[in-house]
A = this chain, B = another copy of it.
Amino acid sequence: MTDAAELFSEERSAEVVAASFAATPDPRLRRVLTSLVRHLHDFVKDVELTEAEWAAAIDFLTATGKMCTDTRQEFILLSDVLGASMLVETINNRAVGGLTESTVEGPFHMVASPPRDLGADIAEDGKGAPCLVTGSVTGSDGAPVANATIDVWQANDEGYYDVQQPGVQPPLNLRGLFTADADGTFWFRTIVPRYYPIPQDGPVGRLLTATARHPNRPAHIHFEVSAPGYRTVTTHLFVAGTPYIDSDAVFGVKPSLVREFPEVDDPGRAAEVGLPNPFRTVNFDVVLRPDTVDREA
Contact = CB atoms under 8 A, between A and B. Distances in A.
B65 A17 contact: no
A146 to B, nearest CB: 28
A110 to B, nearest CB: 14
A12 to B, nearest CB: 10
Nearest to A210: B29
A51 B84 contact: no
A35 B47 contact: yes
Interface stretch (A71-79, A114-122, A191-199): A71-79
B51 A246 contact: no
Contact of A245 (B1, B9, B49, B85): B1
A182 to B, nearest CB: 32
Nearest to A251: B8
A45 interface: yes
A246 B91 contact: no
A292 interface: no
A17 B86 CA distance: 10
B79 A58 contact: yes
Q: Chain A contact residues (Cβ within 8 angstroms of B): what range?
A: 35 or more
Nearest to A95: B10
A46 to B, nearest CB: 5
Interface in A192-215: 210-213
Interface in A39-54: 39-51, 53-54
A268 to B, nearest CB: 31
A25 interface: yes
Nearest to A58: B75
A253 B17 contact: no
A188 to B, nearest CB: 25
B83 A210 contact: no
A211 B33 contact: yes
Interface in A224-252: 240-241, 245-248, 251-252
A91 B10 contact: yes
A207 to B, nearest CB: 8
Contacts of A17: 82-83, 251
Interface in A58-110: 58, 61-66, 68, 73, 75-76, 79, 82-92, 94
A86 B13 contact: yes
A165 interface: no
B246 A37 contact: no
A258 to B, nearest CB: 6
Contact of A61 (B37, B65, B83, B212): B65
Contacts of A164: none
13 contacts: A2-B258, A7-B253, A7-B254, A13-B83, A13-B87, A20-B247, A21-B213, A23-B211, A29-B211, A51-B92, A61-B64, A62-B75, A66-B66
